[in-house]
Amino acid sequence: MKLDHDELAAASAPLNRARSMPAGFYTDPEIFAREREHLFLKHWFFLCREEQLPNPGDYRAFDTPGGPIVLIRGKDEVLRCFANYCRHRGSILLEGEGNCGGRIICPYHAWSYFSDGRLYGCPDMQDAEGFDRVENGLVPLSLDRWNGFVFANFSRSPKPLLEHLGDLPQRFASHRLDRMRCTWKITLDGACNWKLVLENAMETYHTGIVHKNTVGAQQSRTLETRGDWICIQVISGRSIATLPGAPPPFPPIEGLDDDAKMGTYFTVIFPTCQFAVAQDSMWWLNVTPVSHERSRVEIGGCFPEDMLGRSDFAEKAAAYYERWELVGREDVGILEKQQKALASVLYKPGPLSWRDDMVQALGLWVVNNTGL
Ligand code: FES
Ligand SMILES: [Fe+2]
């Protein structure tokens, strides 16, 4: 399907004349298939933090638009990522997260693999002509990392992650994100298109309404970026990673630059991930597109490593977890209403506000990168 040409043109007009994207952008399975081909299978996507797999044999399985994959730390301590299926007849090998104890054993006919992906055992295969163990190891994916954040890519020869991130590392240099440690995560299922989640996460137009009982009204400024990411900063001299009313329990990170002291940064690292970077912590919204109308949203929270040793860490960190979950659920709630209404046969794209600049930018990045 092709989106309506006039509606697409209106969506890319200068902001004071621009309209929302056509409904099909969010509701059409063919658009989703195109995004899968051009975005999800070509670009880097965030998986987790390195320290979430501290020991040899630790693994985490992920369902992605390219199928099930598994991240695993080998006996040699190296992190690798593989398609999560057995080379015999394709059973899923690992689920959830855990430690495979050095061998991955297929639950179907018990072929087994080393934690570095090489085939180890394959019972009753002695008659199979031309069977080669070396050729029947797990199928690898490209993997790269920055400051402990691990990304994968289905492309065989992707451009380096650092090129994708552009000037993001400079922007967050003073936050010392390499010292962040993930201490918490939740997963929310949303009956909405993946782009609605990220558009919503890049505007403060809605916060005084949808989040009136939690974070409340906010003001933001848009920052210039280079690379495949966009950024706003919500202006507040205090971290907004906890609810207003009481001061944030943890102190600001030492050595923050003057810009970083002014507020919390909200980004989209295209195509599917948000890093939110505050003065005292960072959290992510990692969106997995499930279908044109379903998304899985993982919210993960991190603190500077020297906070984790405090005797009151768990008690103080709870205020952050509460805020991240409450606001996340409020957002998913409104997005499900929006998705439902976008399916109306009478739907016509509405006009955008100046506060929707990043909503427009996100849509245009998708249009440009999918050739819509
Ligand atoms: S499918 Fe894995 S051993 Fe048969
Ligand atoms: Fe929100």
The CATH number of whichever domain residue 79 belongs to comes to 2.102.10.10
d(CA 10, ligand 1 centre) in Å:
52
For residues 247 and 220, state if they share a domain.
yes
Ligand nearest to the CA of 124: 1
- Which pLDDT score is estimated for 2? 77
In single-letter form, the type of residue at position 314 comes to A
- In the chain, how many H helices and how many E strands? 10, 17
Full domain range(s) for residue 63 = 45-157
The conformation of residue 351, written as its DSSP 8-state character, comes to B
Ligand nearest to the CA of 333: 2
For residues 345 and 197, state if they share a domain.
yes
What is the gyration radius of the CA atoms in the chain, in angstroms? 22
- Which pLDDT score is estimated for 1? 61
Q: Buried b / exposed e across 187-205, counting CB within 10 Å, b at 16+? A: ebebebbbbbbbbbbbbbb
Residues near ion ligand 2 (CB < 5 Å) are 331
Apex 328 CA angle, 323 and 333, nearest 5:
130
Residue 8, judged by CB atoms within 10 A of its CB (0-12, 13-18, 19+), counts as: buried
For residues 55 and 23, state if they share a domain.
no
Counting from 1 in the atom list of ligand 1, the atom nearest the Cα of 90 is: 1
Ligand nearest to the CA of 110: 1
Question: How many domains are contained in the chain?
Answer: 2
Ligand nearest to the CA of 113: 1
For residues 75 and 26, state if they share a domain.
no
For residues 172 and 231, state if they share a domain.
yes
Counting from 1 in the atom list of ligand 1, the atom nearest the Cα of 93 is: 2
- For 261, list phi and psi in degrees, rounded to 5: -70, -20
- Distances, alpha carbon 105 to alpha carbons 94, 138, 185, 191, 347, in Å: 9, 12, 28, 35, 51
Q: Which of 157, 184, 216 marks a domain boundary?
A: 157
Q: Are 184 and 49 in contact (CB under 8 A)?
A: no
Q: Are 325 and 242 in contact (CB under 8 A)?
A: no
Residue having the nearest C-alpha atom to atom 1 of ligand 1: 89
Counting from 1 in the atom list of ligand 1, the atom nearest the Cα of 109 is: 3
For residues 153 and 226, state if they share a domain.
no
Q: Does 162 fall in a domain? A: no
For residues 37 and 49, state if they share a domain.
no
Q: Which of 157, 191, 211 marks a domain boundary?
A: 157
Cβ neighbours for 49, distance < 8 A, ≥ 6 positions apart: 148, 149, 150, 180, 181, 182, 300, 302
Residue having the nearest C-alpha atom to atom 4 of ligand 1: 109
Q: Sheet harboring 45-49: ordered strands across? A: 45-49, 149-153, 142-146
d(CA 230, ligand 2 centre) in Å:
17
CATH number, domain containing residue 228: 3.90.380.10
d(CA 42, ligand 1 centre) in Å:
29
For residues 182 and 328, state if they share a domain.
yes
pLDDT along the chain (372 residues), means of 10: 90 98 98 98 98 98 98 98 98 98 96 98 95 96 98 97 98 98 98 98 98 97 98 98 96 98 98 98 98 98 98 98 98 98 97 98 98 88
Site to substitute for ligand 1 among 70, 87, 88, most atoms within 8 A of C-beta: 88
Q: Does 207 fall in a domain? A: yes
Q: Which of 136, 157, 178 marks a domain boundary?
A: 157
For residues 135 and 102, state if they share a domain.
yes
For residues 334 and 287, state if they share a domain.
yes
The candidate with the shortest Cα–Cα distance to 11, out of 1, 19, 3, is 19
Distance of alpha carbon 51 from alpha carbon 124, whole angstroms: 39
Neighbours of 142 (CB within 10 A): 15
Q: Does 260 fall in a domain? A: yes
For residues 32 and 72, state if they share a domain.
no
Q: Does 285 fall in a domain? A: yes
Cβ neighbours for 301, distance < 8 A, ≥ 6 positions apart: 182, 183, 184, 185, 281, 282, 283, 317, 320, 321, 324
Counting from 1 in the atom list of ligand 1, the atom nearest the Cα of 89 is: 1
Q: Does 125 fall in a domain? A: yes
For residues 209 and 245, state if they share a domain.
yes
- Distances, alpha carbon 83 to alpha carbons 36, 163, 200, in Å: 17, 25, 31
Which residues does ligand 1 sit against, CB inside 6 Å? 86, 88-91, 106, 108-111
Residue having the nearest C-alpha atom to atom 3 of ligand 1: 109
Q: Does 94 fall in a domain? A: yes
- Residue ranges of alpha helices (H) inside the chain are 5-11, 24-27, 29-35, 161-165, 168-171, 194-200, 207-210, 258-261, 313-342, 357-370
Tokens of 152: 């994968």
**Which residues lie across from 234 on neighbouring strands?**
220, 264
